[in-house]
Structures are given as structure tokens and as C-alpha cells.
Amino acid sequence: MAESTFTVVGMTCGHCAQSVTEEVSKIGGVSEVAVDLPTGAVTVSSAEAINSADVRTAVEEAGYQLADS
């Protein structure tokens, strides 16, 4: 199992976090998504290492952006 953490910019409420969780959960192989709203951290658990471009696309589909690393 692999775990990756990303920072999402612009989430301000529970609905925001739910939208991001739903979109990221659609990525193949993702088993769990945990959002820490105050910090913007999104931790993704998956069977194998997750492609950050897929996460970026899912987050953008939810209406938010990944912070530049």
C-alpha cells in the first residue's frame, strides 16, 4: 500500500472537502482519501504509488488547485 499527501488550495468548508474526496476517490487504485480541512492536506492511500497528475486533474475537476511543490 502506498500513501501520498498533497496540499489543496481553496478549500474552506466541509462541502469543499467532500467534493475533493469524491473526485480523488474516482482515481483507479485509490482505497482511501483523508482531508484535513484546516491545513488543506489530502492524504491518498492506494494499492500502488499514485500519479500526481491524476490527483491534480481530480482536484481541478472538483474546482480547486494543488499547491505548487
| The predicted structure's pLDDT at residue 68 | 81
| The predicted structure's pLDDT at residue 33 | 98
Percent of the chain with pLDDT over 90: 96
Nearest to 10 by CA among 46, 64, 57, 49: 64
**Residue 69 — pLDDT band, cuts 50, 70, 90?**
low
- pTM for the whole structure: 0.93
Within 10 angstroms of residue 57's Cβ, the number of other Cβ atoms is: 15
| Architecture of the CATH domain 2-66 | 2-Layer Sandwich (3.30)
Domain ranges of the chain: 2-66
| The predicted structure's pLDDT at residue 63 | 97
Q: Kindly state the average pLDDT of the residues 53-59.
A: 97
Q: What is the number of residues in the chain?
A: 69
Q: What are phi and psi of 57, to 5 degrees?
A: -60, -45
